[in-house]
Structure 1
Amino acid sequence: MKGLYCKSSGRSDVNFFIQETDLPGTLGNHQVKVQVKACALSPLDLKLLEDLQLQRDLVPVGREISGIVLQVGPKVTFFQPDDEVVGILPLDAEVSGLSDVVLIHEHHLVQKPEKVSWAEAAGSIQDGVRAYTALHTLARMATGHTLLLLDGASPFGVLAIQLAHYHGVKVLACAHSQEDQLFLEQLRPHVGVQESVVARVISQSDGKVDLVESCLEETGGLGVDIVVDSGVRLYEEEPEHRRLLPHKHDIITLLGVGGHWITPEDNLQLDPPDSRSLFLKGASLSFLNEEVWGASRACQGRYLHIMKDVVEKLSSGTLRPQLEDPVPLHKATVSMEMVQQKKVRKKVVIQL
């Protein structure tokens, strides 16, 4: 049985390759054997694995899977053979999701609706969990709020926009290129509907549009209720690949009273004046890391509820992911290299 693995000699020097692998001979009490039909690819966070002391010589690649249950452990209660399921392998999984068959604990899986394809299910589950974590868990979004999404055309951004619009949130989204801007302007909640899900698309491709002015103009000077960024600049001078990111002062300036700033920037540094500005606004800062759901068994029920809601909204058409055409397994290595280098804008799914 083959699987995709990563060998790293540093955080930036990684090598992906397909290798033969074996499964344990027996199922654990709560384990489920799944025949994988599709597996989505996301960039590896090697720093996170290192911090959690999960770094190994060979790191399994591909955690977002959909497939058919082949066999269940003696104490499994949620599933039975022939069930169609979707789930996320845990960070400490020893087998790649690109294997023909994987063993996974039943609490990392949910039922896949019949109307949802294998590729859609695998390609949406992790970004869907991330969107729910940002908007529901951290930002406590509610009808009438205004959301600023700093990279609206990313796979995560598209699902976050659709989820926010469904709950009556006004969405402002930034576009990093002309293609992204056109895509966001044409994004609709359903086929044939004229109304756009994005109230305003803010172009950041040429640096000519002032982000703060645009947001304050759109909110009558009050500021936005929720900001979800995709990274921020900490200093005026940053490397070329970070030049389109907003400065942290801009985020604080456009945030409204009682607002929520959600960031994946794990090395964010706030100076005392920054903290003072947030204090005066009664605003909050939260760090977006959807992997925390696996950190405590007390959160397992909420985690499963989120995954179930993601697939239900996929089935109803509320969430519609942007996927690349399914890729065969023999092209998985090249595809993963492009994903790791962030050279693809849509979600890449490997069809097995």
Structure 2
Amino acid sequence: MAETMRAIDIKNGAGPIEALHIANIPKPTATGSQAIVKIKAFGLNRMDLLQRVGQYPVPPGASKILGVEFSGIIESVGDKPERSFKVGDEVFGLAYGGAYAEYIAVSTHMLVHKPQELSWEQSAGIPETWITATQAIYNIAKFTPGKSILWHAGASSVSIAGIQLSVADSASSVFATARQDEKCSFAVDSLGATAAFNTTTQDWVSEVKKATDGKGVDIIVDFIGASYFQQNLDAIAKDGTIVCLGFMGGVELPAGVNIASFILKRINFVGSSLRSRDEEYQGKLRDQLVEHALPRFKDGRFKLMVDKVLPWEQIQDAHRLLEENKTKGKVICTIDA
């Protein structure tokens, strides 16, 4: 009989929070460049909520189990792992799926050695968010020192990473938006943003223009989509880039949207995702993260914000926390040995 493990499953394949439960499923085995990692903690992401209700397609060949980021200990390896990884190594990493489980099969090209300075919980919250921010700012937006940048959803995990990267790499100004004053203060006081604007009580476009002497901002990283589309066009500077990574505010544009700015301002509008990228692409981003950010994790220059840690038996509560949009940083689940 095949060896089994426990994992978070969804009754009927998709459904509400109440459909999440722990079940026994076959334990994976490592082949090729893969390793089997015994998971100590895993991070939650908004894509997990969409996948749970059947609105996020899983990449071909990926596990249907939720979760793409984790920390743990290598239990076994395939016949062609990266040389630097061996049984017993403490690691964290990014996967195409399967992290809500006791064990995961993942390419060693997507693993990072866990520094002793970081906890299992901190490490589990790094891969998806920090690699997404790294991809958005450098690979897509082509950020260079001296440019200004605005991060929407300023207290979300990706923006927490992105704001810190922008500040560290000498952006001329780093702006953020949020829907609560507390989150705006957090972006400025804890993360170092130049200013943050409450989109429910302020005209954030006017505030951005005022702060940039009417020029607008060079880069906007957006997770909202349709409901901010016109405002993004109004707030972006000439030759600016808008990077769209999500659509929390819908996918259908409201009537009256004026797209003239695309030509008048020579705007670049780029949509992107990380999970659908191939292993080679993700591996290069991993290397970029290790070179650029890992030293700053170790010495504390970059803050790893963990808002809530729950045992994985409370996965339903963890999903509720994410859906409420009240967190500042990661929600992490731990798995006891």
Secondary structure of 2:314's counterpart equals helix
Q: Give the deviation of 1:301 after TM superposition.
A: 4.0
Secondary structure of 2:85's counterpart equals coil
Taking a change above 3 Å as real, the CA distance of residues 346 and 299 of structure 1, as seen in their structure-2 partners, is closer
Number of aligned positions between the proteins: 321
Higher relative contact order (CA 8 A, sep 6+): 1
Partner of 1:40: 43
Is residue 234 of structure 2 the alignment partner of residue 253 of structure 1? yes
Distance 1:232 1:30 in 2: 37
Taking a change above 3 Å as real, the CA distance of residues 52 and 184 of structure 1, as seen in their structure-2 partners, is closer
Q: Give the deviation of 1:332 after TM superposition.
A: 2.1
Cα deviation digits, residues 143-173 of structure 1 (max 9, x gap): 1111111211112211111010001111111
Q: Give the deviation of 1:319 after TM superposition.
A: 2.4
Secondary structure of 2:182's counterpart equals helix
Partner of 1:81: 87
Q: Is the 8 A contact 1:38 1:122 kept in 2?
A: yes
Partner of 2:66: 61
CA RMSD in angstroms, aligned pairs only? 2.8
Is residue 229 of structure 2 the alignment partner of residue 223 of structure 1? no
Taking a change above 3 Å as real, the CA distance of residues 67 and 155 of structure 1, as seen in their structure-2 partners, is same
After TM superposition, list the pairs within 5 Å mapping 1:90-101 onto structure 2. 90-91=96-97, 96-101=98-103
**Divergent runs of 4+, >6 A:** 9-14, 53-56, 270-273
Ranges in structure 2 where 5+ consecutive residues have no aligned partner? none
Taking a change above 3 Å as real, the CA distance of residues 300 and 338 of structure 1, as seen in their structure-2 partners, is closer
Q: Is the 8 A contact 2:131 2:286 kept in 1?
A: no
Taking a change above 3 Å as real, the CA distance of residues 205 and 274 of structure 1, as seen in their structure-2 partners, is closer
Is residue 286 of structure 2 the alignment partner of residue 304 of structure 1? yes
Instruction: Give 2:8's aligned amino acid.
Output: L
Instruction: Give 1:90's aligned amino acid.
Output: Y
Instruction: Give 2:43's aligned amino acid.
Output: A
Cα deviation digits, residues 85-120 of structure 1 (max 9, x gap): 1111214xxxx4232222222122122222121111
Partner of 2:181: 178
Q: Is the 8 A contact 1:38 1:351 kept in 2?
A: yes
Partner of 1:335: 318
Taking a change above 3 Å as real, the CA distance of residues 272 and 78 of structure 1, as seen in their structure-2 partners, is farther
Aligned with 1:350 (options 317, 333, 336): 333
Distance 1:9 1:71 in 2: 29
Q: Give the deviation of 1:19 after TM superposition.
A: 0.8
Q: Give the deviation of 1:326 after TM superposition.
A: 2.2
Q: Is the 8 A contact 1:172 1:201 kept in 2?
A: yes
Q: Give the deviation of 1:341 after TM superposition.
A: 5.5
Partner of 1:3: 7
* Farther-moved stretch of structure 1 (170-179 vs 338-347): 338-347
Distance 1:338 1:8 in 2: 23
| TM-score, normalisation: structure 1 | 0.81
Instruction: Give 2:105's aligned amino acid.
Output: L
Q: Give the deviation of 1:140 after TM superposition.
A: 0.9
Distance 1:275 1:36 in 2: 47
Distance 1:198 1:27 in 2: 43
Distance 2:180 2:257 in 1: 33
Instruction: Give 1:50's aligned amino acid.
Output: P
Partner of 2:302: 319
Aligned with 2:105 (options 103, 106, 121): 103
Cα deviation digits, residues 37-64 of structure 1 (max 9, x gap): 11111132336643856799xx412221
Q: Give the deviation of 1:268 after TM superposition.
A: 5.9
Aligned with 2:274 (options 261, 279, 290): 290
Instruction: Give 1:306's aligned amino acid.
Output: Q
Q: Is the 8 A contact 2:154 2:187 kept in 1?
A: yes
Instruction: Give 1:35's aligned amino acid.
Output: K
Cα deviation digits, residues 268-305 of structure 1 (max 9, x gap): 659998443212212200113122433xx552442331
Instruction: Give 2:34's aligned amino acid.
Output: Q
Partner of 1:18: 22
| TM-score, normalisation: structure 2 | 0.85
Aligned with 1:129 (options 125, 128, 131): 131
Taking a change above 3 Å as real, the CA distance of residues 32 and 321 of structure 1, as seen in their structure-2 partners, is same
Q: Give the deviation of 1:29 after TM superposition.
A: 2.5
Q: Is the 8 A contact 2:153 2:178 kept in 1?
A: yes
Q: Give the deviation of 1:13 after TM superposition.
A: 7.8
Aligned with 1:71 (options 61, 69, 76): 76
